[in-house]
Amino acid sequence: MMIMDKKTIVVVGAGQGLGNHVAKQFGKEGFRVILMARNEQALKGYEQEFAAEGIEVYTHTVDAASPETLTEALHWVKSTFGTPEVLVYNVGITTPDEPGKIDCEEMMRRYQVDVASAYHCISQVVDEEFGQKKGTILVTGGGLALYPSMAYLPLSLDKAALRAMVYALHEALKPRNIFVGTVTVCGAIGGDGFFAPSRIAESYWKMYNERGACEIVYTETNI
């Protein structure tokens, strides 16, 4: 039996950083939260943490390197809760690389995780019901899309591709009442200051409510 008494947000790429804070931002506004990540043990901990804060939460193990796990997980969401109202893709391989040491095979592996699986997730939820619910898709972008670095070459390329995808889908899906947007975070996420995950998460809530421009460039120069 489907459980459809409240709105649902799916966060692909849950974690102690931005992913969980975005989920909590929506959870505290009455959303049911579905957290997805690779680490099953970590997900169990997050489930307890969210429940202790009074947020209805469920978890599902996925691996963005294996799109079939995303297909199965999103099918489970739909069959259990119905089509979600919000999908957040917050996955990216952010470790620095030694310049010149990335081969084509690794480049393609990164692209699958950082970009192609985002598109795959979107394709799984974008249906007629998603449009009827005025569905929202929010993608975590990065400043490397605007200011690429050889120390993060695959991520620079992937964030640029992800940003292009969001812009294209924003226009393509708008006539179907579906909003696609990205928060381009121009800085290292963490700490208690401007780049605190809880503070960045407010931009996701703002974008969800306003459904205006398809990009928020989150940078200290804008404050």
CA distance 180 to 194: 24
- Are 214 and 221 in contact by the 8 Å Cβ rule? The answer is no
- Model confidence at 132: pLDDT above 80: yes
Question: Could you report the per-residue pLDDT of 60-71, keeping only the tens digit for each?
Answer: 999 999 999 999
Least reliable range by pLDDT among 5-9, 96-100, 105-109, 160-164? 96-100
Q: Residue 223 above 50 pLDDT?
A: no
Average pLDDT in the 8-17 region? 96
Two tokens at 190? 């963490």
| Phi-psi map region of 30: left, alpha, beta (phi>0 left; psi -120 to 50 alpha) | left
- Of 69-78, 86-95, 100-109, 179-188, minimum mean pLDDT range: 100-109
Residue 130 has pLDDT above 70, yes or no: yes
CA angle 189, 49, 59 (to 5 degrees): 85
Q: What CATH number should be reported for the domain whose range is 8-222? A: 3.40.50.720
pLDDT of amino acid 100:
76
pLDDT tens digits, 67-84: 999 999 999 999 999 999
pLDDT band for position 212 (cuts 50, 70, 90): very high
Q: Half-sphere exposure of 206 toward its Cβ, with a 13 Å CA cutoff?
A: 14
Report pLDDT for 5: 79
3-state secondary structure 175-213: HHCCEEEEEEECCCCCCCCCCCHHHHHHHHHHHHHHCCC
**Distance between start and end Cα atoms, the chain:** 47
* Cα R_g (the chain), whole angstroms: 17
* Residue 36 token pair: 């997805």
Cβ within 8 Å of residue 100, ≥6 positions away: none
Chain centroid to CA 6 = 20
Decide if 136 contacts 87 (C-beta within 8 A). Answer: yes
Using CA atoms of 72, 61, 15, 4 in order, give the dihedral in degrees to the nearest 10. 50
Overall size of the chain counted in residues: 223
Let me know: does 39 contact 86? Beta carbons within 8 Å: no
Residue 2 is predicted with a pLDDT of 63
Considering the chain, what is the average pLDDT of its residues? 95
pLDDT at site 77:
97
